[in-house]
């Protein structure tokens, strides 16, 4: 967080249900980004897999994969410029491996184009799933951040939420607001896991967390914005094509950290872990 005058702006988390029609997905983003801008948002966060989503990982994802200068990102760029809005969304991206794609987040800012990208680090190779079969894991210890009006925003996604080191790496890079697009699949206790872990990441790091999930029946929904004390400022339930908006403030972060200086008191650093065997350790990990 940059020193100086107070920074105070509105963030929107947008809960949608992306599908396998990229054109329709872009139209949905347009309509909801326009609404977010009308309601005063400066940043709008859309879910993981916003460019393309199918129920099963497979060849369809490879066919739908785009480069970061492809139709999806170009569309976000034009939309950001027209609305004066930073847009963050999940892209099924081409990778150097023709048999796998990259699960990428892109942040596009008005007049600046792509200001940050983040490739999902932890792939879900557990409970019968094997994301590493289709997805290339992102590089470790890379903090994807961008700045807006003096606040630093950091990117991570979905299953990364279960690994507190990812968020701590962002905070070590100066992040004030963690943006968390996700496709957090429904299941026993999954909504509880989602809300509990989001709250923990905000509370333990004294930062804001803004998380946008897929709407049910695929995701748990419950897209939310949480403040540095772990309090939910705004959230939605199980509806589709809705949003929650919350105001983030540099003064609020500073005030919380004066009372709870846990970051200053910590005694451990975060370093990448050398794989010790097993598919998850070797490949990363999510389709959470």
Q: Output the pLDDT for position 4.
A: 59
Q: Residue 29's closest CA among 69, 103, 83?
A: 83
Region 117-121 average pLDDT = 96
Catalytic pick among 66, 102, 131, 158: 158
Tens digits of per-residue pLDDT, 4-43? 578 899 999 999 999 999 999 999 999 999 999 999 999 9
pLDDT band at 131 (very low <50, low <70, confident <90, very high): confident
Task: Please give the residue that has the higher pLDDT: either 284 or 33.
Answer: 33
Q: Output the pLDDT for position 283.
A: 45
- What is the full DSSP assignment across 89-125? EEEEE--SSTT-EEEEEEEEETTTEEEEEEE------
158 as an active site residue: the answer is yes
Q: Output the pLDDT for position 125.
A: 78
Q: Which residue segments constitute the domains of the chain, with CATH numbers given?
A: 8-266 (3.60.110.10)
Q: Output the pLDDT for position 118.
A: 97
Q: Output the pLDDT for position 285.
A: 38
Give the H/E segment covering residue 28.
helix 22-38
- pLDDT surpasses 70 at 256: yes
Angle at 51 between CA 103 and CA 27, to 5 degrees: 165
Two structure tokens written together for 286: 């999510």
Q: Output the pLDDT for position 282.
A: 42
- pLDDT surpasses 90 at 153: yes
Radius of gyration of the chain (CA): 18
**What's the whole-number average pLDDT of the chain?**
93
- pLDDT surpasses 80 at 229: yes
Whole-number Å distance between alpha carbons of 214 and 238: 9
- pLDDT surpasses 90 at 142: no
Q: Are 68 and 93 in contact (CB under 8 A)?
A: yes
Q: Output the pLDDT for position 262.
A: 95
pTM over 0.85: yes
- What's phi and psi for 252, nearest 5 deg? -65, -45
Two structure tokens written together for 171: 């905070």
Q: Are 211 and 105 in contact (CB under 8 A)?
A: no
Q: Output the pLDDT for position 276.
A: 58
Tens digits of per-residue pLDDT, 190-204? 999 999 999 999 999
Q: Output the pLDDT for position 127.
A: 63
Q: Are 235 and 244 in contact (CB under 8 A)?
A: yes
pLDDT band at 287 (very low <50, low <70, confident <90, very high): very low
Q: Output the pLDDT for position 275.
A: 65
Catalytic pick among 66, 102, 120, 183: 120
120 as an active site residue: the answer is yes
Q: Output the pLDDT for position 51.
A: 98
Two structure tokens written together for 120: 């999902």
Give yes or no for a cis peptide into 217 (omega within 30° of 0).
Answer: yes
């Amino acid at each position: 967080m940059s020193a100086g005058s107070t920074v105070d702006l509105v963030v929107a988390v947008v809960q949608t249900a992306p599908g396998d029609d990229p054109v329709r997905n872009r139209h949905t983003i347009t309509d909801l980004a326009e609404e977010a801008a009308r309601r005063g948002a400066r940043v709008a966060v859309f879910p993981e897999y916003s460019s393309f989503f199918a129920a099963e990982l497979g060849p369809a994802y490879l066919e739908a994969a785009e480069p970061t200068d492809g139709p999806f990102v170009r569309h976000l760029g034009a939309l950001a410029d027209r609305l004066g809005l930073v847009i963050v969304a999940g892209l099924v991206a081409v990778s150097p491996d023709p048999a796998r794609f990259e699960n990428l987040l892109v942040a596009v800012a008005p007049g600046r184009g792509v200001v940050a990208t983040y490739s999902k680090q932890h792939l879900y190779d557990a409970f019968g799933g094997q994301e590493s079969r289709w997805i290339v894991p992102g590089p470790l210890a890379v903090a994807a951040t961008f700045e807006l009006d003096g606040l630093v925003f950091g990117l991570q996604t979905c299953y990364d939420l279960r690994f507190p080191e990812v968020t701590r790496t962002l905070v070590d890079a100066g992040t004030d607001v963690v943006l968390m697009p996700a496709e957090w699949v429904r299941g026993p206790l999954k909504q509880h896991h989602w809300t509990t872990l989001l709250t923990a990441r905000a509370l333990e790091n004294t930062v804001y967390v803004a998380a946008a999930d897929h709407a049910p029946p695929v995701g748990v929904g419950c897209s939310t914005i949480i403040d540095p004390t772990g309090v939910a400022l705004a959230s939605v339930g199980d509806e589709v094509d809705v949003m929650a908006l919350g105001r983030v403030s540099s003064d609020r972060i500073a005030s919380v950290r004066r009372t709870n200086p846990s970051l200053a008191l910590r005694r451990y650093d975060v370093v990448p872990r050398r794989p010790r065997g097993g598919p998850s350790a070797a490949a990363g990990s999510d389709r959470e």
